[in-house]
Each structure stands twice: as C-alpha cells, then as structure tokens.
Structure 1
Amino acid sequence: MCGLVLDFNADPAVRNIADQFMFGPSLLVNPVTDYKARNRKLYLPATTGWFDFYSGKYLPGGQALTADAPLERMPLYVREGPILPSGPAVQYAAEKPTDPITLHVCTGKNAAFTL
C-alpha cells in the first residue's frame, strides 16, 4: 500500500489526497469513511487511464468524480494495462489447491505476467 504521490508525483492534484491509496502497482483503493455514505468523491490520477473494477468501464485519468459505494463494495479502480490473477478464497497456503485461477487482463498498455 502506498500514497498516490509516490506513483503519480508528476500530477500535482494528488499531493494532498490522504484517503485514497494504491494497493500494489495496479489497484486504486477508495475507502468510504463517512457513516452511512453510499457514494464518495475521488480523483483518478493523470498519466494513465482507469477501469472500474466492477463494471469494466474505462475512464481517463486526471479527473474528479463521485463514485457509487453501496454497502457491499467500495470504489475500486484498476490502472490500464495490468494482468490481475484471482482465485478462490483461502485462509492459509495449504488449505486447498489454488485452481481455478482467473486472469483479468486490462487493455491499454503492454504487460507481462509470470505464473
């Protein structure tokens, strides 16, 4: 986890954002911290495009928006270009086999992945 200014220091708009963060190099996490809030204002950093994790909708970077935040999920965006693996939920490493693994490929830039 890291603050946006570490990955997007060329974008002056991220310098004072303290309630959004990157989880790894690809996921922009936007926690909802206001009681009973069902949306939140957020900023998508410039220099790259973003995909809504749940709908797959592409949004250009460098814009502020208000995202829906129903109780069961928080706003989550994926930087354009990564390959994200996902698999079954496990509590510890040897609990069960890790297959099937789903690879989510986001277009926009070249990426590589080793499994």
Structure 2
Amino acid sequence: MTQHALSETPIEELNPGWIGMPIEVDDLQGVAVGFRLARYERTMVDNTRTWILYSDGSPWRTEVRAGAKVRWVGTVPAPGQFVSPQPAPPHSAVTALPQQAQLSPQSWVTPTPGGNY
C-alpha cells in the first residue's frame, strides 16, 4: 500500500523538472499559497536571492526568498531511499502562430487538436 506524505524541500533545489507540479510555499508575508507551478525566475531583490514563482491556469505570481521551503505531496520512501518530486502530466500543448498571422488576444496560443480550451 502506498502512503502519501507532505515533503519539504529547500527552494534552492527548485529546477525545471518541477514545472507542472502542485506545490505549496509561504510567501513573503508568511501566507501559505498552493498552486501548480507554471514557471519560475531566480533573481536578486535588494541584494537577496529571490524566486518569483508563477502559477498555472489563472496566472499570478508569488515571491519567496532563499531558505524558503517548497512543500509537495509524495510517497513515503522506504528506509534509505529518496523520492524526488515528479511533475504532473501537462494539460495540453500549444503551438505558436506563423509570423505573418495578424495578432489578436485569441491568437496568442492555438489549441492542438483535441485540446481543452
């Protein structure tokens, strides 16, 4: 039987393999926010390493500083084993329009056949 547990990982270990994962972090005001990670940026703000995390779906962002913890639900590993986060499968793919196409709010992404939009 698989057991699930909340795991905690330092923000410094965040990498592109985590894109699409549902995660939870405490923002700069100490509020716990949970979302599916769409993308992130590493930057310096006031000489402090800062990660700007963007949500999937209805896009918004939150900032965390070095030392923050990322929480995610994973399986409980057997003694002596490590379980790394696994990203969720993508919802659907999008394709860019040819350059000669006229741009409009609806033209930024084109759904692939069978996509849910």
Name which structure has the greater RCO, CA cutoff 8 Å, separation 6+.
2
Report the TM-score when normalising by structure 1.
0.28
Larger strand proportion of the pair = 2
User: Which structure is larger by alpha-carbon Rg, 1 or 2?
Assistant: 2
Report the TM-score when normalising by structure 2.
0.28
